[in-house]
């Protein structure tokens, strides 16, 4: 049902989703743009990431994690994929805190409405960030510290572990029911837990989206309806981006609608018409650098906001610039998007791509180890 040549469109969608999250995080430099619901609901595209991740990981690893050693190899590969970029931008924000600390004790720090040095980004948050545990709900107030968007990387990494254990302990016939059960359990927890468990909610939200993506591979019976499922999903996503609804409901609906869109786009059976533009070279590149785009944009936005504060003496609302004139605000928005993409390109070339090469080398090494062990096994017949 699923054809790998259609991943190109999924990757383009991932790039567009990352760009939407960027727009969501841009400060209120110009309120008429900032307050548009289409932008304010951009955080929902994180749920698209979770569903897409589950969909792809399930396809690539189902049936392969049949030994504890292979599970370890799988987690090592995911660690290599995620951690170098995360660590680099964590260190960047740590350097910013150190600079603030130096200015504070030398009497040259004026605050500007922001937090004091290491007030929010403290040592506990740093330790949790270092071990990718900052959004598991183990400690309060650490999820949105340092490089805030990395909270989703924290939840996703340990969701990989849950997935790996399920595949390891379950027979091939039972993995799919286990994935559905995990998805439903996460959905129940999402609504049952008190709202003050906000940080653990993020973890449960990731588990729900990821295993919903895994569950899509069991929907072969929907092949004849996939085109209409896709069109309905596009319409539904458009509606929840435009209107204001309950946050939890919006996140659940976004996951469900994203699953329909992903399933329709990735299938060759009656593919969606009018979506060939997703194969455009620029969008494909945006998809390629989407992880760097997502992980680097918070720092890029901080740099532009700092430039507006120091160089242009823009008025402040808390620690961010605001009340820019219409033309200056619109130009700043456009310049920010371009700058974010350029920084993401640099991040991809010098951090992410080397880690991908290392990941490929590690994968080849693991395969070589398994082949050598197989050759030296005694004959059993």
pLDDT of the chain along its 381 residues, tens only?
A: 445 556 788 999 999 999 999 999 999 988 899 999 999 999 999 999 999 999 999 988 988 888 899 999 999 999 999 999 999 999 999 999 999 888 888 876 666 656 788 888 999 999 999 999 999 988 888 889 999 999 999 999 999 999 999 999 987 778 889 999 999 999 998 877 765 567 788 999 999 999 999 998 877 556 677 778 888 999 999 999 999 888 889 999 999 999 999 988 887 665 667 788 888 999 999 999 999 999 999 999 999 998 888 777 777 776 777 767 888 889 999 999 999 999 999 999 999 999 999 999 999 998 888 777 544 444 433
CA 174 to chain centre: 28
pLDDT at 318: 66
Q: What is the 3-state secondary structure (H, E, C) of 191-222?
A: HHCCCCCHHHHHHHHHHHHHHHHHHHHHCHHH
**CA-to-CA distance for 264 and 258, rounded, in angstroms?**
10
pLDDT at 132: 96
pLDDT at 306: 87
Residue 348 DSSP label: I
Contact indicator for 305, 298 with CB cutoff of 8 Å = no
Residue 275 DSSP label: -
* Sign for the pseudo-dihedral over CA of 353, 215, 241, 230: positive
CA 116 to chain centre: 28
pLDDT at 223: 66
pLDDT at 310: 79
- CA dihedral 309→315→317→318, nearest 10 degrees, is 40
**CA-to-CA distance for 343 and 35, rounded, in angstroms?**
26
Contact indicator for 265, 13 with CB cutoff of 8 Å = yes
Contacts 24+ apart (CB under 8 A), 142-146: 142/199, 143/198, 143/199, 143/202, 145/120, 145/121, 146/89, 146/90, 146/93, 146/94, 146/97, 146/121
**CA-to-CA distance for 131 and 129, rounded, in angstroms?**
5
**CA-to-CA distance for 168 and 209, rounded, in angstroms?**
20
Tokens representing 17? Answer: 């989703």
pLDDT at 1: 46
- The C-alpha R_g of the chain, in whole angstroms, comes to 22
Q: How many CB atoms lie within 10 A of CB 85?
A: 22
**CA-to-CA distance for 308 and 26, rounded, in angstroms?**
13
pLDDT at 141: 83
pLDDT at 268: 67
**CA-to-CA distance for 262 and 277, rounded, in angstroms?**
16
Place of tokens 């968007």: 149
pTM over 0.85: yes
pLDDT at 19: 97
**CA-to-CA distance for 17 and 23, rounded, in angstroms?**
10
pLDDT at 196: 54
């Amino acid at each position: 049902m699923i054809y790998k040549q259609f991943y190109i469109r999924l990757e383009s969608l991932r790039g567009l989703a990352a760009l939407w999250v960027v727009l969501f995080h841009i400060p209120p430099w110009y309120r008429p743009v900032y307050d548009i619901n289409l932008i304010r609901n951009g955080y929902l595209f994180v749920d698209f990431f979770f569903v897409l991740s589950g969909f792809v990981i399930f396809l690539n690893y189902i049936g392969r994690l049949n030994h504890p050693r292979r599970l370890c190899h799988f987690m090592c590969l995911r660690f290599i994929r995620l951690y170098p970029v995360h660590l680099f931008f964590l260190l960047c924000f740590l350097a910013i805190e150190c600079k603030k600390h130096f200015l504070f004790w030398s009497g040259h720090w004026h605050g500007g409405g922001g937090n004091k040095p290491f007030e929010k980004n403290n040592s506990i948050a740093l330790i949790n960030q270092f071990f990718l545990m900052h959004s598991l709900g183990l400690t309060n107030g650490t999820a949105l510290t340092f490089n805030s968007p990395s909270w989703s990387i924290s939840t996703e990494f340990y969701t990989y572990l849950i997935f790996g254990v399920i595949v390891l302990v379950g027979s091939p016939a039972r993995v799919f029911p286990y994935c559905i059960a995990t998805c439903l359990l996460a959905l129940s927890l999402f609504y049952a837990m008190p709202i003050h468990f906000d940080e653990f909610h993020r973890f449960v939200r990731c588990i729900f989206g990821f295993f919903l993506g895994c569950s899509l591979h069991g929907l072969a019976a929907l092949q004849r309806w996939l085109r209409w499922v896709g069109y309905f999903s596009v319409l539904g996503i458009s509606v929840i981006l435009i209107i204001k609804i309950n946050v939890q409901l919006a996140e659940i609906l976004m996951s469900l609608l994203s699953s329909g869109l992903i399933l329709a786009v990735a299938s060759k059976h009656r593919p969606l018409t009018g979506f060939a533009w997703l194969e455009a070279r620029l969008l494909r590149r945006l998809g390629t650098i989407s992880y760097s785009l997502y992980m680097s944009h918070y720092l890029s936005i901080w740099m532009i906001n700092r430039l507006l504060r120091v160089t242009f003496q823009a008025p402040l609302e808390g620690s961010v610039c605001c009340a820019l004139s219409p033309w200056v605000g619109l130009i700043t928005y456009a310049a920010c998007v371009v700058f974010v993409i350029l920084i993401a390109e640099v991040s991809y070339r010098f951090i992410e791509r080397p880690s991908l090469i290392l990941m490929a080398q590690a994968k080849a090494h693991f395969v070589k180890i398994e082949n050598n062990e197989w050759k030296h096994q005694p004959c059993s017949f």
